[in-house]
Amino acid sequence: MIANIVTSNKLEVDDIDDINVVESLDDIIQDLPTLVTSYKWVTDNYDDYDIYDKQLGDSLYWTFAKTERRDIFNNDVEEFITLANRELISKIKYVFVDPIQLQRDTIKKIITKIYELKDKITFKNGDMLYIYGENLIFGIDLNLLKYIGINPIKVEKKIKSISKVFLDDKEIFIEYKSNMERLGDSVKYIPYLYSIKHE
């Protein structure tokens, strides 16, 4: 789950399986961004609020219920889900493993770290490998390895053998299509998103 939406209205959005949709704040998952869809709830619970500011707290947002303002409801729900996707990846660090630019010692440290990662999930996209674990994503360009004389097939096989999950199916794009649109088509996050869905 990437977020909570508290609503009594039906949601018509993609990736609803990623959202904890509940009717009461008592049922939210703590520490996730939360959207409450009720202007009445805001007026009942907040004396000092700005109707143009949709953020009530660190991770608490509000919008009108569908019955109050349908046009604003639909737009704000979509914007909130995009925000939740972006907030989700904000804690992830991406490291492009560049064997030409990086020092040999740095590359050795990166290789050691990749081996040490628990429950590695790797996604192959064209000639790129994205290895996720422990809030880190390492990007390896197989063409670049070939260019400097390293056998990319051997590297791919080795990474596959040490990965808990190795994703190389084009169907994976369909599963994460909406997430990718919200994240600017940044496919490197697919193994991380996979890890969340399959916890």
- Helix H or strand E segment including 63: strand 60-63
Flag whether pLDDT at 12 surpasses 80: no
Give the single-character DSSP code of 11. Answer: P
Q: Provide the whole-model pTM.
A: 0.82
pLDDT tens-place string over residues 71-108? 899 999 999 999 998 998 898 999 999 998 989 899 99
43-71 confidence digits (pLDDT tens): 999 988 888 899 998 899 999 999 999 88
Q: Tell me the DSSP string of 105-147.
A: HHHHHHHHHHHH-SS-EEEEETTEEEEEETTEEEEEEHHHHHH
Locus of tokens 């940044």 = 186
| Predicted local confidence at residue 15, as pLDDT | 62
- pLDDT above 90 (res 179): no
